[in-house]
């Protein structure tokens, strides 16, 4: 069995029987989306330097399937594309796993009679149709393959539509698709729902939980102005009675005094142990509202509705909630999982450019710690990302959440592997505390500095440091911090919550896609890297 492949939303894979229009639809679809198109049969012929009938004749069907499997495995390279497969490609479970990892799987279907009409006379180039009764052969193969084709995300009968209509139907379905990622934590498991306009279905989704009617929405004034009405309407339509607390913008509000104000609001609204708190906003709101929910009446239900890229890909997932202390970020907090995370992609449309770029620091982080394909995808699609292409952003949010969900499921309370999620954060948090810059901006600098430390320790090659630095630069993120108070920054790192015995722990990359936790970093390397940025 091949190694499991993580799903990378963003691409489109067309599966189905021969003659259903996969190649014709795929080519036009890719052209309309501005992304590459590949036909696996064409790739097989190129790899074998022979036409498909010749491959069957010389190597048999098993030889053909071996080449096909190698070709499909090669598509798992992080590039977003439209893929049209051969009719039998999905019968191999490993092939199906790889194809599903590439994005949405669409089954193009057609009745046997339509397939025969479209392929009549093609037996010379379609070996599986050779014989005296091709219609019976088509029906037999369709029955055999139906259970596998039925595992697709969506199905379209192409006998009822023109090629152009089918293309538009595929595009419409992909653009409206909700992606659900499960964070598997036993009794504390929950879903991350990602999609356009999913905010409007918040109340409906909440009805599946055992909740009472009174709810508290915690948000920022600007977010309340844009999305507060939609949120309260969605809650009221499902029978909830929402109250809204607006917290002024800024990290300074992530404090015990503001937690106290939320407790007051919960008491005034007569909330009980089954009354939900909804965090509508970015990371500060999620941390503050989650901390209040975790500590009010020893814990009440909590739902994350992140509206920033940083919150959607990182802060809202994993159950870390906290407030700050004057001597460090997130020093007072808990592990407290939400009931649900609802990432409505349309909220990214109004996000200021600076905050979008800051959120990209966390996405790039996931590429460095776990997925070189994601890193390469960002390098290749950065212009589309900064233009807020909805499909590309959906892919980034979903893949980032998948990586974090996988890490959190294996180490909920950061006793081991979960620490890798802090790549760039040890120095980044200290820089953020010292300078007041945005979290993502400080993490970007922290990642570069951690990579330089890794290079000095002969763990990482210089080319990888260059790629990381260049990608951050192209994204519009800082990669150095001039004027930094080095002694004060080092002192702040001693109070980092990841420190053990006063020794900071660093997440250091060994290559793009792999990192390790180290507590043996020489102090002079830290000082020299911090000083070099001045």
Provide the annotated active-site residues: 298, 320, 362, 404, 414, 418, 422, 425, 429, 439
Query: What are the residues facing 321 on neighbouring strands?
Result: 334
What is the rounded (10 degree) CA torsion for 198, 200, 202, 208?
-90
Q: At 81, list the tokens.
A: 């594309």
**For the stretch 356-389, what's the b/e string if a residue is b when 16 or more beta carbons lie within 10 angstroms of its beta carbon?**
bbbbbbbbbbbbbbbbbbbbbbbeebbebbbeeb
Bridge partners, residue 516, by sequence: 508
CA gap 114, 120 in Å, rounded? 10
Helix (H) or strand (E) holding 232: helix 229-237
Phi, psi of 7 (to 5 degrees): -75, 135
Closest CA to 401 of 179, 204, 199, 208: 179
Strands 11-15 and 103-109: parallel
Q: Name residue, tokens 């609802």.
A: 342
Give me 431's structure tokens. Answer: 């820089």
CA 393 to chain centre: 9
Give the N- to C-terminal CA distance of the chain in Å, as an integer: 51
Q: Which two tokens stand for residue 245?
A: 């607390």
Distance (Å, rounded) from C-alpha 445 to C-alpha 204? 41
Q: What is the C-alpha separation between 528 and 346, in angstroms, rounded?
A: 43
Q: Given the structure tokens 């190694």, which residue do they identify?
A: 3
Give the angle subtended at the CA of 343 by the CAs of 350 and 104, to the nearest 5°. Answer: 110
- Spatial CA neighbour of 34 closest among 363, 383, 372: 383
β-pairing, 214-219 vs 241-246, is parallel
How many H-runs (helices) and E-runs (strands) does the chain carry? 21, 16
| Rounded Cα distance, 422 and 189, in Å | 22
Q: What are phi and psi of 109, to 5 degrees?
A: -120, 160
- Dist. CA 324–CA 320, nearest whole Å: 13
Contact call for residues 275 and 263 (beta carbons, < 8 A) = no
């Amino acid at each position: 069995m091949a190694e499991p492949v993580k799903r990378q939303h963003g691409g489109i894979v067309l599966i189905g029987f021969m003659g259903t229009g996969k190649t014709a639809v795929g080519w036009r679809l890719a052209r309309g989306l501005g992304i590459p198109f590949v036909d696996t049969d064409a790739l097989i012929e190129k790899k074998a330097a022979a036409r498909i009938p010749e491959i069957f004749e010389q190597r048999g069907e098993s030889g053909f399937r071996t080449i096909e499997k190698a070709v499909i495995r090669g598509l798992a390279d992080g590039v977003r594309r439209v893929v049209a497969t051969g009719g039998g490609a999905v019968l191999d479970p490993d092939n199906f796993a790889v194809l599903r990892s590439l994005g949405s799987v669409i089954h193009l279907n057609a009745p046997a009679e339509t397939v025969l009409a479209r392929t009549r006379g093609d037996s010379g180039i379609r070996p599986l149709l050779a014989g005296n009764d091709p219609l019976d052969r088509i029906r037999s193969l369709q029955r055999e393959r139906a259970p596998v084709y039925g595992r697709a995300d969506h199905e379209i009968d192409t006998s009822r539509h023109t090629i152009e209509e089918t293309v538009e139907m595929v595009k419409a379905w992909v653009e409206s698709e909700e992606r659900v990622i499960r964070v598997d934590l036993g009794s504390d498991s929950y879903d991350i729902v990602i999609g356009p306009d999913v905010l409007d279905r918040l109340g409906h989704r909440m009805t599946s939980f055992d909740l009472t009617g009174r709810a508290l929405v915690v948000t920022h004034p600007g977010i309340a102005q844009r999305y507060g009405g939609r949120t309260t309407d969605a809650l009221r339509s499902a029978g909830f009675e929402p109250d809204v607390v607006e917290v002024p913008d800024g990290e300074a509000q992530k404090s015990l005094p503001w937690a106290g104000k939320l407790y007051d609001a919960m008491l005034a609204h007569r909330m009980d142990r089954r009354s939900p708190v909804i965090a509508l906003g970015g990371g500060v709101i999620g941390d503050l509202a989650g901390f209040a929910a975790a500590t009010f009446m020893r814990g009440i239900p909590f739902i994350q509705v992140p509206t920033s890229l940083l919150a959607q890909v990182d802060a809202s997932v994993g159950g870390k909630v906290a407030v700050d202390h004057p001597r460090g970020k997130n020093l007072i907090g808990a592990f407290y999982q939400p009931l649900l995370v609802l990432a409505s992609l349309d909220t990214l449309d109004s996000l200021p450019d600076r905050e979008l770029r800051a959120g990209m620091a966390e996405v790039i982080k996931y590429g460095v710690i776990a997925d070189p394909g994601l890193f390469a995808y960002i390098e290749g699609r950065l212009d589309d990302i900064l233009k807020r292409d909805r499909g590309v952003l959906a892919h980034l949010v979903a893949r980032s959440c998948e990586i974090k969900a996988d890490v959190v499921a294996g180490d909920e309370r950061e006793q081991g592997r979960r620490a890798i999620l802090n790549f760039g954060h040890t120095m980044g948090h200290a820089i953020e505390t010292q300078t007041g810059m945005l979290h993502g901006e400080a993490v970007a600098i922290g990642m570069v500095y951690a990579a330089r430390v890794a290079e000095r320790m002969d763990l990482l090659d210089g080319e990888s440091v260059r790629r990381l630095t260049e990608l951050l630069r192209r994204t519009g993120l800082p990669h150095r911090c001039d004027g930094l108070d080095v002694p004060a920054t080092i002192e702040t790192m001693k109070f980092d919550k990841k420190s053990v015995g006063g020794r900071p722990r660093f997440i250091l990359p060994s290559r793009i896609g792999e990192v390790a936790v180290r507590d043996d970093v020489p102090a002079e390397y830290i000082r020299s890297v911090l000083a070099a940025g001045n």
